[in-house]
Structure 1
Amino acid sequence: MPHPAAVTLTVVQGQLEKTEFAFEERTTCLIGRARDCHPRLPDDEHHRTVSRHHCLLDINPPDACVRDFGSRNGTYLNDQKIGQREEGHTPEQGAATTFREHRLTDGDELRIGSTVFRVTIRGEQLAPAVVRCVSCGREESAELNARAGDHLCAACRTEPQAAAELLLDLARTGDRELRGISGYTLLRELGRGGMGAVYLARHEATGHEVALKVMLPRVAANQVARTRFLREVLVTQELRHPHIATLHDAGFANGTFYLTTEFCTGGSLDRLHTLRGDRGQIPEAVRLYAQALEGLEHAHARSVVHRDISPSNILLHRDAGGRLTAKVSDFGIAKAFDLAGLSGLTRTGATAGKPSFVPRQQVVDFRRATPAMDLWSLAASLYWTLTGHVPRDFPAGQDPWLAVLRAPAVPIRERAPHVPRALAEVIDHALTEEPRIGFETSADLRRALLAAL
């Protein structure tokens, strides 16, 4: 059996106690003098040329990229400087300059201050120089370190509806991998993101409606990655709660992952614009977020952490009387896709977007997920709903991930003075990050929000 892909940093010059850092799974890590860095360089007189948060590594074995964070003295790749803030600029001014990422290859040397790391890349089974798309049959040149597996071409990755319709056509032929979507027809698109799209689908015989989500991997989906992602996703099938959107089925075929979930008729909180900043709607907003916290409490009690809470992942179901009920959706889906290595290198690249609802703990410790991280993200989502702004400032041109590390949340009443003071105090406390996130349990946050009304 072949060894899994790995990226290893070996200290070949410097004073670190640990001399080897091996990464076999999707991760990001910070290098610098700060306590939350890994590898962490000593905070002593020999390393004063190293910034607290010096550079960031984005690793998806066998791929890896590095980007400087506007450090004082720069990062060197094979003796070539790849980033440094201008002389006389403060760390804040340096952070306002985004330096491009650089792909790492086997044998590269990375120098930070007086410490030199040698990069070793061990690849799993790699794809041939020319690969064929499993969906359309088109051939294209394989990217650097492209792995073997079911490959989707660049054109097919931009057509989620075509992928969904093809899966439904294959399901009609009796494909065993697609039993969960057999007999369904697409009705309309509900939304889309960087990895795929969600559609309303109806069963032709029963009329049952579901939300059908298709996810298109940016790298070849080999058996290890498929198994890892689906195992993680199917854990959430056991979650049954009035405030959690039920996951019915999940699978993979033709280079595409699919999931079917409960269809919520009221859309998502990010589309409910009437709640934004409207004083009369504050009680309704708090009520819906309190319901979402009930769903999180149920999941957290079963050691399931969402890891991607945002207004778009809190769905609304409207009953016959027009009353809305909140349901948390997509438990761990995006993060599981990323951790399985299927999203490619996105953490440092332009496709990563702004981490608007992410606590700094989630950037520092990419793989570790705690309930408190979900609570910070939920409080950030409520903040956005009430103000129309995300909690942090993300100045134009500034590296957004560095902003997460350094910029605390702006007190909510500075954005929206109409928010009642008692409620503002709860939200501001929930968005505390140092020394720890303000609330540790869903029940505590829910009680505090409701008591503040």
Structure 2
Amino acid sequence: MTAARVTLSLVRGRLDTAEYVFEERATCLLGRADDCSPRLPDDEHHRTVSRHHCLLDINPPAARIRDFGSLNGTYVNETRIGRREPGQTPEEASSSMFPEHDLADGDEIRLGDTVFRVGVTTGEQGPRRTLVLVHCTKCGRDLGDADGVEDYVCASCQAEPAAVLRLLLELAKGGRRELAPIAGYELIRELGRGGMGAVHLARHEATDEVVALKVMLPRVAASEQARARFLREVALTRALRHPNIAALHDAGFGGGTFFFTMEYCSGGGLDDRLTKGPLPPDEAVSLIRQVLAGLEHAHAHGVVHRDLSPGNILLRPREDGSTTAKVADFGLAKAFDQAGLSGLTRTGTAAGKPYFLSRRQVVNFRDATPIVDVWAAAACLYRALSGTYPRDFPRGRDPWHVVLQEPAVPIRERGTEVPGDLAMVVDRALREDPGEGYATAREFAEALATTTRS
């Protein structure tokens, strides 16, 4: 089995790199700006190319392209897509959401005088590949055939993850070996759900152990290779043990569904707490410093979260009345995405707004470093203190273009009473230029320790 991949090969133009290869989930920004890759020359042959011209969203073997409202548009097989209207300013164009265009093997993309050819390798086997008839595990619907895939949950059944989870527990009780880690659990109530699945509170009938039982439902039929790749990444997060990281106990796959048993935190998520309003500075700083301690431990073990938000900062009350913050879902969204299991939705309309995403992560998604988690932690603190997000996302404007173009609004401009020294630290942590923010979780935590004491 060869790995699925997408390549961009230079057909015409003058660039230092002739071929760009993508074998995992990535976003790829094209234009004349220094942070683009591929970066086009800033010369007379590319005056029609914008600094941030277009975005490729790649999940091998699928790829999409979206123009950001450039002056002359992006050409796919000499058909222009995404051009802003004559007389429209870049600022006015940025208020528009231009459609995405699916790319196929052999397509050519032209920006100015530079042309790339798209190559797509599906990863399929040769003549000996075996096709298996696939049925929905939940409803039994015939879903056609696929290479090496036997279990899958159809789109209709994915809309009811609780029903899928109850089916898994029944199959586990019936002796399905791959579901043994969740055998004996009963559901108590739903704790939350998102685009990839849901989390329930569950109790073990024999031991009374209470856990958070999470399911993640692949948006595509998961091949054996994709399942193994995802679970290998999950194993790295299972090894993380720290007071400020929610422990991941067991993980596995069965019935077309990935399942996880995790430490239960009775205080819920920070996002739920913030529905009651902003936190006092002392409380907000205390929680985020704990988050940073968890991040520091994970980064030391080579694990970057990439998806930190108040929704995966869990709260566990202590006996003395204080609260422990624990980071959850370390690496799960990233690994699910990179294994090609989430479908091509990270920058599409189904992805939601990137409220807690740094510009670095859009520019260099597949090679995101720990600094993207530091920025996200600062964005969570900003939200906890002010009740809003670091950037404004006007209705109708492409949110990914906002991330690329707009700096964070200084927190005191939000009209909230944040101490001056704390505001300075938060604003610095949200700077995007290299060297201006905080490079590590520890550095940010130490800066917070000099402000409002927790």
The CA deviation at 1:274 is 6.9
Task: Give 2:444's aligned residue.
Answer: 445
The CA deviation at 1:293 is 1.5
C-alpha contact 1:68 1:99 (8 A) present in aligned 2: yes
**Mapped partners of 1:275, 1:439: distance in 2:** 30
**Mapped partners of 2:135, 2:92: distance in 1:** 46
| Pair 1:12 & 2:41 matched | no
Shift of the 131–67 alpha-carbon distance from structure 1 to 2, 3 Å rule, reads: farther
Task: Give 1:194's aligned residue.
Answer: 195
C-alpha contact 2:30 2:37 (8 A) present in aligned 1: yes
The CA deviation at 1:148 is 5.7
| Pair 1:169 & 2:161 matched | no
Share of identical aligned residues, percent? 60
1:192-240 Cα distance to aligned partner (Å, 9 max, x none) = 1110010000000111000011001111111121111111111112222
The CA deviation at 1:249 is 0.7
**Mapped partners of 1:156, 1:300: distance in 2:** 37
C-alpha contact 1:131 1:139 (8 A) present in aligned 2: yes
Task: Give 2:81's aligned residue.
Answer: 82
Task: Give 2:117's aligned residue.
Answer: 118
- After superposition, residues 142-161 of structure 1 pair within 5 angstroms as 149=149, 150-161=151-162
Amino acid at match of 1:292: V
* Larger CA deviation: 404-413 vs 91-100: 91-100
Amino acid at match of 1:168: L
Shift of the 66–10 alpha-carbon distance from structure 1 to 2, 3 Å rule, reads: same
> Which runs of 5 or more structure 2 residues have no equivalent in the other structure?
none
Task: Give 2:139's aligned residue.
Answer: 136
C-alpha contact 1:372 1:437 (8 A) present in aligned 2: no
1:115-163 Cα distance to aligned partner (Å, 9 max, x none) = 2222222212389798532432212468xxx876343311122121112
What secondary structure does 2:433 align onto? coil
1:80-109 Cα distance to aligned partner (Å, 9 max, x none) = 211111122222222211111111112222
**Mapped partners of 1:358, 1:94: distance in 2:** 22
C-alpha contact 1:101 1:348 (8 A) present in aligned 2: no
C-alpha contact 1:247 1:259 (8 A) present in aligned 2: yes
- After superposition, residues 251-290 of structure 1 pair within 5 angstroms as 251-273=252-274, 276-277=277-278, 281-290=280-289
Task: Give 1:228's aligned residue.
Answer: 229
Q: TM-score, normalised by structure 1?
A: 0.94
What secondary structure does 1:272 align onto? helix
* Larger CA deviation: 346-355 vs 146-155: 146-155
Task: Give 1:183's aligned residue.
Answer: 184
Task: Give 1:428's aligned residue.
Answer: 427
What secondary structure does 1:39 align onto? coil
Task: Give 2:290's aligned residue.
Answer: 291
Q: TM-score, normalised by structure 2?
A: 0.94
Amino acid at match of 1:216: L
C-alpha contact 2:152 2:256 (8 A) present in aligned 1: yes
Amino acid at match of 2:357: V
Once superposed, which parts of structure 1, at least 4 consecutive aligned residues long, lie more than 6 Å away? 126-130
> Which runs of 5 or more structure 1 residues have no equivalent in the other structure?
none
C-alpha contact 1:277 1:416 (8 A) present in aligned 2: no
1:273-321 Cα distance to aligned partner (Å, 9 max, x none) = 377335xx22112111111222122222222221111111110011344
Shift of the 28–273 alpha-carbon distance from structure 1 to 2, 3 Å rule, reads: closer
C-alpha contact 2:32 2:40 (8 A) present in aligned 1: yes
Shift of the 159–92 alpha-carbon distance from structure 1 to 2, 3 Å rule, reads: same
1:9-36 Cα distance to aligned partner (Å, 9 max, x none) = 2222333343322222221101111122
C-alpha contact 2:354 2:403 (8 A) present in aligned 1: yes
Task: Give 2:338's aligned residue.
Answer: 339
Count residues with an aligned counterpart.
447
The CA deviation at 1:446 is 1.6
What secondary structure does 1:89 align onto? coil
1:405-441 Cα distance to aligned partner (Å, 9 max, x none) = 1110000000134111111001001111113461122
**Mapped partners of 2:203, 2:263: distance in 1:** 12
- After superposition, residues 19-38 of structure 1 pair within 5 angstroms as 19-38=18-37
1:50-91 Cα distance to aligned partner (Å, 9 max, x none) = 111111111111111111111110011222211111122222
The CA deviation at 1:444 is 2.1
The CA deviation at 1:253 is 0.7
Amino acid at match of 1:400: P
- After superposition, residues 395-414 of structure 1 pair within 5 angstroms as 395-414=394-413
Task: Give 2:217's aligned residue.
Answer: 216
**Mapped partners of 1:263, 1:86: distance in 2:** 52
